[in-house]
Amino acid sequence: MKSGDKEDPGRSLWPMLVLLTFALLAACAVSLFAGVADMPFRELPAGILKYRVARILLGILAGAGLSVAGVIFQALLRNPLAEPYVLGVSSGAGLGAALAILVGAGALGIWALPGMAFAGALATILLVYALARQRDGSVPVHTLLLSGVIVSAVLGSLLMFLVSVSSAHQLHSVVWWLLGNLQIFQWDLLVAVAVVVGGGTIVTFLFSRDLNTMTLGEEPAAHLGLRVEQTKLLFFVLGSLITGATVAACGLIGFVGLIVPHSVRLDIGPDHRRLVPACALVGAIFLVLADAFARTVLAATEIPIGVVTSFLGGPFFLYLLRRRKGAYWS
């Protein structure tokens, strides 16, 4: 795969990454100390510390993963409104999770719910790609987007049907999962998510020049020597797997994959060599702080983190958009 961009972003990249890394460490410290239990750090029970560390790590992975997936789909579909769930991965994962809850698959082990959610996401990915693929092997962007919207609508209807026939207890479990949370009690699951999100982010960064080229359009990209169909397939798989793994572990957390890429792009520009690592760190910071807010703002009651990300992220993004006005996609 080739790309025509020659600018070296190294000088501005590393100071920015160092600054964002320190900001992430500060956010982790805030989240570690934030909680209903008002006691000195040394007196916190080991179980609470371990639980908080696990939540922080999942917040880092989920925030980074959703943000990077948002960057991928906005470049791949050349659509500023694209986000990680645009191709129906969320509906497929939600349907799988709802089925797991309704049939009592949780009795089979802690992996049952995330496993069925990821299976639903993976099946949706394959279905959308198969529907969008043409006889000559090409996958037009508009067909891919339309297939994703239609599949998402159908699966969303099936999900709502399952919700409507569920019991009160099952309904609460399904809705809680759909609204997103970072409650995790299985380190093996955390490791699995880390492998998928970390590996996908690294590969995306290594091929970030190709994302730059893809934003020019398919014909200009082909004239620059890019293998357009192979590149689209690569990023479609990367974005979908990252999203599926994240959703399987913590449910549907909206708005992160939409607002973080745009917010960062408004500040540092559209070069994906800077945008991908910066979005990963900013997304991690945002979700870690959002989780701390969700755990503490109403004392003993925890707010679903998907509600918090939308409530905090929407006004902030509107502020950025109004402040920068014209500097949007160029």
From CA 52, how far away is CA 36, in angstroms rounded? 12
CATH number, domain of 318, equals 1.10.3470.10
Longest dimension (CA), the chain: 65
In a domain, 5, yes or no: no
Q: Mean pLDDT across the chain, nearest whole number?
A: 85
In a domain, 236, yes or no: yes
In a domain, 195, yes or no: yes
The pLDDT assigned to 89 comes to 87
Q: Which two tokens stand for residue 12?
A: 């501005």
DSSP 87: T
In a domain, 164, yes or no: yes
From CA 261, how far away is CA 257, in angstroms rounded? 7
130 C-beta neighbours (distance < 10 Å), count: 10
Q: Which of 282, 271, 197 is nearest to 240 (CA)?
A: 197
From CA 118, how far away is CA 241, in angstroms rounded? 9
Residue type, 27: A
Sole residue written with tokens 């371990």: 50
Contact 129, 229 (CB under 8 A): no
Helix, strand, coil content of the chain in percent (nearest 5):
75, 0, 25
Per the structure, the count of domains in the chain is: 1
The pLDDT assigned to 2 comes to 46
From CA 106, how far away is CA 248, in angstroms rounded? 14
The pLDDT assigned to 239 comes to 92
Q: Which two tokens stand for residue 204?
A: 């995306």
Read off the pLDDT of residues 107-148 as tens digits, 9 standing for 90 and up: 666 778 888 999 999 999 899 999 999 888 888 888 988 999
From CA 308, how far away is CA 293, in angstroms rounded? 8
In a domain, 3, yes or no: no
In a domain, 329, yes or no: no
Question: Which ranges of the chain have pLDDT less than 70?
Answer: 1-11, 35-47, 105-109, 299, 320-321, 323-330
Single pTM value for the model = 0.88
In a domain, 2, yes or no: no
Q: C-alpha angle 206/212/217, rounded to 5°?
A: 135
Residue 80 backbone dihedrals phi, psi, to 5 degrees: -65, -15
The whole-angstrom distance between residue 102's C-alpha and the CA centroid of its chain comes to: 25
Torsion sign over Cα 89, 95, 98, 104: negative
Containing domain of residue 52, as a range?
10-324
In a domain, 1, yes or no: no
From CA 100, how far away is CA 80, in angstroms rounded? 34
Contact 52, 31 (CB under 8 A): yes
Read off the pLDDT of residues 53-112 as tens digits, 9 standing for 90 and up: 999 999 999 999 999 999 999 998 888 778 888 888 888 988 998 898 888 766 666 778
